[in-house]
Structure 1
Amino acid sequence: MEYNKLIYILRQLSKTNKKNYENYVVTRMYNRLDDLEIKFITQQYVSRGNGQYALTDMYFPQLNLHIEVDEPHHERNVEADKIREEDIINITNHKIMRINIYNGIEIEEVNLQIESIIEYIKAKKVELGKEFIGWDTKKEYSTETYINKGYIDTKDNVAFFRIVDACNCFGLNYAGYQRGGAKHPIEKGTLLWFPKLYANDKYTNRLSDDGNLIFEYNNNKESTKEQILEQSNSKVFLSRRIVFARVIGPLGDIMYRFKGEFILDTEESINNKCFVWRKISERVKTYKNIKE
């Protein structure tokens, strides 16, 4: 699947249609920026920790920048908004910039605030230099992009529409694949894992707030120390996992987002009576088709 940029942008902007102030800020910011290399997402889900989530009004993933539009009713929620912002910054290490729209504000002042953010975005792009990767819908979700790059890194916000596309980044040559995991063809003891990080039929998989641990619970029973040790010492057990979590994409599609490489933490597993996977790397190596 591939997004057409025009359709993508129209669908992002349409998400603010019923919010007048937010719609004005988002559409003006997009048009004033006038840069098709910069991707944006409206109504971006962000973890606040403790299982809580927030929606930020506009997000620029290449810059790790969130824009919040403080409409008049926010004047009654200043302290709550401050706590919400601190949660987001502490969890993601992203930057948040705000547009303050108070009762009686003139449009010229709103525009000045928007221009200030536009200047920041342009300067940030220049500052990043070669580290800035322009938005290209054809390459963004392509297996070949990451094979040629030689690695996948969490900071690049990599996600695929299909499990098979992720699998084929690691030397496989599948035409289709729908299972929740695939054995890595090159790196021994490693599983390519595509978990739902929420409750499902048999297991509840939960990602810690900092993204460094995955807790894999069996819904029917707790795992005992003996079961954990027996299973982890089995010859067929794969103790390393390259994780692509099932998520909802920016346009509501099911996608598989790279979360890093994890290894079984036996001690934490025993303590929590479930399998606990600890992140050991934000980057993994990709491979060409092993049959080539």
Structure 2
Amino acid sequence: MEEKTKSKYISEMLNKRTKGKDYENFVINQIYARIDNPELEIVTQKCVRPTKGVDITNLTKVGKNHYLIDLYFPQINFAIEVDEGHHENVENQFNDKQRENLIKGSVSCDIKRIKICKPGTKIPQNYDDIIQQIKEMVVEIKGKISEWEKKNNQKLKWITNDEKIKGVKNCKVFDACEAIHFGGITKVLNLLPGIKHSKLYQRCVKNFDIYSIWIPVLSVRLDDGTVKTANGWENFINEDKDKIIEYPSDEKYNKKLDTYNAPTGSSPPKWGSRKRVVFMKMKDDFGNNCCRFLGVFKPDHIEYENGKQKRIYNRIATTVTFAEIVRKS
């Protein structure tokens, strides 16, 4: 990554994402400046679906079971919350697009806190008390960096998303274990040998002989029970991200895709012949559209729920080579 691009990333993370939150902005900038390590990656307002070990107390909620962490350092898996004396209205701060941000890397770490106000009040502490907390936090972070470097026997290095994509292109392998944000289906297709789409590819599926590349839009079940969909198609993924459930958009599609009437007690039919290389649409750390590789999924079976077709895909692999995707049958 060029220094100019890295500088822009850091500038936006330290300013744009904390706009209108004066104390939070002050604390985060102080912490990052005092650490003084350009190889430490920084993410502000990170959206997560917490796993065990995450204290969600006072985290900002942005949808069903999704929260924001004020400051996160992904390399050392260290998070910080700035506890001010009030909580802003989420609906006024984050639009509906952030509610759709379901597939984000969850974190499992302790969340440290910096208290802005005096205990039990909304009265800010004095400057020296806040600065002392910041200094103690910086010492802890530097300690975490030293621990990481000793454990990995190397110096900390910020590997940017662009550099990760270059690595994928060189290795010619998609790996679900790597947290890489791809720009969209067009950029994914352009990584494959012999496949070039200079113009924006509009469809969410690209078929090859044995595989299909599939970038579905994940449906969102809101707190009031309603489901937000793309063109009526409902796509859900389980917590382990190894099973996708797809509902066709309406009865017309149900009849078109499958006219099978399952006899009582019989197993529902399987369908399709292609394995699916799945990338799920999501938001990056700035709220921009992108996608992330989830693995190779295989159509497993069809069920019927209240007369509606329900298609089940199971993950069969977390890696796939470029050559395998484009291979002729």
Q: Common fold, TM-score beyond 0.5?
A: yes
> Which residue of the other structure, out of 262, 277, 291, is the alignment partner of 1:256?
291
- The letter for the 1-side match of 2:214 is W
Q: CA deviation at 1:157?
A: 0.9
Q: How many angstroms apart in 2 are the aligned matches of 1:132 and 1:216?
A: 41
Question: Match for residue 100 of structure 2?
Answer: none
Matches within 5 A, 1:21-100: 21-48=23-50, 51-72=64-85, 92=106, 94-100=108-114
Q: CA deviation at 1:93?
A: 5.2
Identity across matched positions, percent = 23
Stretch moving more, 131-140 or 57-66: 131-140
Change (3 A) 1:215 1:289: closer
Q: How many angstroms apart in 1 are the aligned matches of 2:286 and 2:107?
A: 24
Contact 2:244–2:314 (CA<8 Å) still a contact in 1?
yes
Q: CA deviation at 1:54?
A: 0.6
Change (3 A) 1:210 1:203: same
Other structure's SS at 2:34 match = helix
Question: Match for residue 10 of structure 2?
Answer: 9
> Which residue of the other structure, out of 316, 322, 328, is the alignment partner of 1:280?
316
Question: Match for residue 180 of structure 2?
Answer: 158
Other structure's SS at 1:174 match = coil
Question: Match for residue 204 of structure 1?
Answer: 234
- The letter for the 1-side match of 2:13 is Q
1:173 to 2:209 alignment: no
Stretch moving more, 117-126 or 188-197: 117-126
Q: CA deviation at 1:132?
A: 6.8
Q: How many angstroms apart in 2 are the aligned matches of 1:225 and 1:57?
A: 51
> Which residue of the other structure, out of 239, 261, 270, is the alignment partner of 2:303?
270
Under a length normalisation based on structure 2, what TM-score does the superposition of the two structures give?
A: 0.68
Q: CA deviation at 1:290?
A: 7.4
Contact 2:247–2:310 (CA<8 Å) still a contact in 1?
yes
Give the unaligned 5+ runs of structure 1: 75-90
Question: Match for residue 149 of structure 1?
Answer: 171
Q: Spell out, residue by residue over 1:93-129, the C-alpha distance to the aligned partner (whole angstroms, 9 max, x if none).
A: 5223312315137021332123212321342244234
- The letter for the 2-side match of 1:94 is S
Cα RMSD after superposing both structures: 3.5
Other structure's SS at 1:210 match = coil
Q: CA deviation at 1:38?
A: 3.0
Q: How many angstroms apart in 1 are the aligned matches of 2:247 and 2:143?
A: 47
Under a length normalisation based on structure 1, what TM-score does the superposition of the two structures give?
A: 0.75
Change (3 A) 1:149 1:93: same
Q: Spell out, residue by residue over 1:3-43, the C-alpha distance to the aligned partner (whole angstroms, 9 max, x if none).
A: 81111111111111322332233212322333333322211
Q: How many angstroms apart in 1 are the aligned matches of 2:284 and 2:318?
A: 20
Contact 1:173–1:289 (CA<8 Å) still a contact in 2?
no
Change (3 A) 1:156 1:290: closer
More helix by share: 1
Give the unaligned 5+ runs of structure 2: 52-62, 88-104, 119-124, 220-228
Q: CA deviation at 1:66?
A: 3.1
> Which residue of the other structure, out of 260, 267, 280, is the alignment partner of 1:226?
260
- The letter for the 2-side match of 1:193 is W
Other structure's SS at 2:49 match = strand
Flag the structure with larger Rg. Answer: 2
Q: CA deviation at 1:61?
A: 3.2
Contact 2:161–2:180 (CA<8 Å) still a contact in 1?
no
Other structure's SS at 1:38 match = coil
- The letter for the 1-side match of 2:66 is Y
Question: Match for residue 246 of structure 2?
Answer: 216
Change (3 A) 1:125 1:155: farther
Other structure's SS at 2:297 match = strand
Q: Spell out, residue by residue over 1:205-252, the C-alpha distance to the aligned partner (whole angstroms, 9 max, x if none).
A: 122223222211113149579379998445xx42x2111111122222
Q: How many residues align?
A: 264
Q: CA deviation at 1:192?
A: 0.9
Question: Match for residue 19 of structure 1?
Answer: 21
Other structure's SS at 2:276 match = strand
Other structure's SS at 2:260 match = helix
Other structure's SS at 1:123 match = helix
